[in-house]
Amino acid sequence: MCGIVGYIGSGKAQGILIDGLKKLEYRGYDSAGIAIFDGETLIIKRTKGKIRDLEKILAKEPVKGSVGIAHTRWATHGKPSEENAHPHRVGPVAVVHNGIIENHIELRKWLESNGHEFSSETDTEIFAHLIEEKLKGGSSFLDSVLWALKQVSGSYAIVVINEDEPDKLIGARSGSPLILGLGEGEYFLASDIPAILSYTRNMVFLEDGDVVTLSRETVKIFDIEGKQVEREPKRITWDPGMAEKSGYKHFMQKEIFEQPRAIADTLTGRVFSDSGEIRFEYLNMSEDFAKKLQRITIVACGTSWHAGLVGRYYLEKFLRIPVDVELGSEYRYRDPVISDYHLVIGISQSGETADTIAGLKAGKERGARILSICNVIDSSVARMSDDVLYTHAGPEIGVASTKAFTTQIVTLYMLSLLLAKLRGDVDEIEVAEKIGDLLQVPSLVEKVLKQDPLIEKISQKYYKYQNFLYLGRHLNFPIALEGALKLKEISYIHAEGYPAGEMKHGPIALIDENLPVVAVATRSTVYEKIYNNIEEVKARNGEVIALASEGDKRIKDVANEIIYLPFSNEDLSPVINVIPLQLFAYHVAVNRGTDVDQPRNLAKSVTVE
Ligand code: AGP
């Protein structure tokens, strides 16, 4: 996610803003910028790269002044570059923004038809043009901002500075966080608490639709219609370390709970339930290629490979063509057979996994078209691809991948629907219905996360066991694999994911009271089969922790512990079902006292063989 800091007061804005950006560095970014009114004009300094690169520029040309805004950018629209870095200036106003403007294409066309010229690829620049358009027409600064906000759909946290009214800052939020810091004769705006915690502990957490005007004397908060509203300040007692994790104990825990937002951000601006439209900014594939597509190979590692196993079900179901899912470390040495109209899909959160890169190269060299699903803009995997679909999960800091996984799955679902549409394999009504199911996922995940206390309680009972077996079938076999991987990589317990149908071919010999079995037994076309597998485990004194669908009473006859989950659409059940397994692994690891965010022997991105 991007980082925003705004300041107005009597202090030196440059130091306060840079300090604030540094406290947000943990969020990950690829460029940085600052805009300060120096008493005469608005000075803007921006750079691709890190805050230290911006500091080098400021060391040569320091900017005095006591009002300004600053930004660290996690690119979503437009590659990391100086011209795409924030703040974006048009006329007297400069804007910093965190979020995604869903209707940026339509607004850009309208502004260009009204003579506006764009200097960046970003959706953010649109805000500056809209505000300037209204100011030119004689509207006040606040009215111009309110009008601009009403034109956009999507998510935003923005702060605006105006060279013609330098004693004021205006901020607003909808869908992305923005915090107001209340100092003595000085005020702050920030994306997150750490940026301003060393200046004030009195903060207001602005709500969606709030617009705030700051001057050195007063702060006023309005709703989007310009009606003044009151917001209760909170006193923040966190220490800086806790603040970086938004009060969570670990980044992994924070990222598990960020998944509703991460999934919503990944869907925003891409699927439209009214029209059934699906669009990806960097999908260059022609309709002709999609129609002639004959074969797909997915290449990935670890958790991303598990996402690929889920994606195979979607792609085969909607496109009716063969789909293989390969481990990068194996595929790269296979001298793979590439046919005509063959698509190789690379899935990688970091976009830097050496084995995945090598596997994609093996396909590319033999003539395959490369499409990648990445979380990091302009990463190596993205740069080598013909098409790139970005998950908008925001930086994933915990080594154990969580929100990247669920956003990869929803991206694969959107891709499958889009390719099926291009091939004429699904009609508009079916697509619109499935998009409706997809748009429900963030709230369903939110509902599952409320089961955290129950899952923590279950983890207390099982965290001392040394071995676990995870069972799943069909779409949820990959979820059994993923649940086992989460447990083993952060708690160091040996855990094995297995297709439940394979139990009778060997693993059932392992079953006894010392081997807890986690079974994914939610409503599905294979429910009866997995239910029988659980009965076989119970008949041999196995302990069963079952994931079940709300309303399933039969499961009580065979499971020792039950985690009930909402049901939407079987295809999307993997996104729902993985959440309790992430939480279970997390709490077991915490009980065992391991380093959850930096597990032993592991790196966040395996950039070597
Ligand atoms: C998952 O929790 C692990 N951190 C690991 O398996 C990871 O998924 C794998 O290394 C692939 O990483 P990537 O998605 O960045 O390519």
Tens digits of per-residue pLDDT, 372-385?
A: 999 988 788 998 99
Residue of minimum CA distance from atom 5 in ligand 1: 302
Tens digits of per-residue pLDDT, 205-229?
A: 999 999 999 999 999 999 999 999 9
442-448: long-range contacts (C-beta < 8 A, 24 or more apart)?
442/259, 442/260, 442/261, 442/263, 442/264, 442/267, 443/260, 444/566, 444/568, 444/576, 445/259, 445/260, 445/263, 445/406, 445/575, 445/576, 445/579, 446/260, 447/566, 448/565, 448/566, 448/576, 448/579, 448/580
The ligand 1 atom nearest the CA atom of 399 = 4
Per-residue pLDDT, 342: 98
Burial zone of 55 (CB within 10 Å; 0-12 exposed, 13-18 middle, 19+ buried): middle
Q: Which residue has the higher pLDDT, 609 or 5?
A: 5
Residue of minimum CA distance from atom 4 in ligand 1: 400
* 322 upstream amide cis, omega within 30 of 0: no
Q: Would you say the CB of residue 349 lies under 6 angstroms from ligand 1?
A: yes
Distance 370 CA to ligand 1 centre (A): 20
Taking every pair of Cα atoms in the chain, the longest distance, rounded to a whole number of angstroms, is 81
pTM of the model: 0.81
Residue of minimum CA distance from atom 16 in ligand 1: 348
> Smallest Cα–Cα separation from 457: which of 273, 590, 272, 283?
590
Query: Mean pLDDT across the stretch 511-531?
Result: 96
Q: In this prediction, what percent of the chain has a pLDDT beyond 90?
A: 86
Distance 395 CA to ligand 1 centre (A): 14
Among the residues of 196-327, which ranges form H helices? Answer: 240-244, 251-257, 259-267, 287-292, 302-319
Per-residue pLDDT, 604: 79
Distance 190 CA to ligand 1 centre (A): 31
Distance 326 CA to ligand 1 centre (A): 14
Contacts of 424 (CB under 8 A, 6+ apart): 291
Distance 452 CA to ligand 1 centre (A): 24
> Smallest Cα–Cα separation from 531: which of 472, 485, 447?
472
Query: Mean pLDDT across the stretch 100-108?
Result: 92
Q: In this prediction, what percent of the chain has a pLDDT beyond 70?
A: 100
Average model confidence (pLDDT) for the chain?
95
Judged by phi (left if over 0) then psi (alpha if -120 to 50, else beta), residue 28 lies in left
Per-residue pLDDT, 214: 97
Mutation pick for ligand 1 pocket among 256, 299, 301, 325 (CB with most ligand atoms within 8 Å): 301
The ligand 1 atom nearest the CA atom of 401 = 2
Query: Mean pLDDT across the stretch 477-486?
Result: 98
User: Is there a catalytic annotation at residue 434?
Assistant: no
Query: Mean pLDDT across the stretch 166-194?
Result: 94
Q: Two tokens at 304?
A: 């991303």
Q: Two tokens at 377?
A: 């803009």
Per-residue pLDDT, 334: 93
User: Is there a catalytic annotation at residue 504?
Assistant: no
Tell me the CA distances in angstroms from 585 to 315, 424, 456, 485, 582, one per residue in order. 29, 42, 10, 9, 5
pLDDT at 246 over 90: no
pLDDT at 606 over 90: no
Mutation pick for ligand 1 pocket among 252, 303, 329, 581 (CB with most ligand atoms within 8 Å): 303
Per-residue pLDDT, 395: 82
pLDDT at 241 over 80: no
Cβ contact 193:246 at 8 Å: yes
Q: Write down the catalytic residue from 50, 361, 538, 604.
A: 604
31-37: strand order across its sheet: 42-48, 31-37, 67-73, 3-8, 187-190, 179-182, 202-205, 234-235
Cβ contact 522:548 at 8 Å: yes
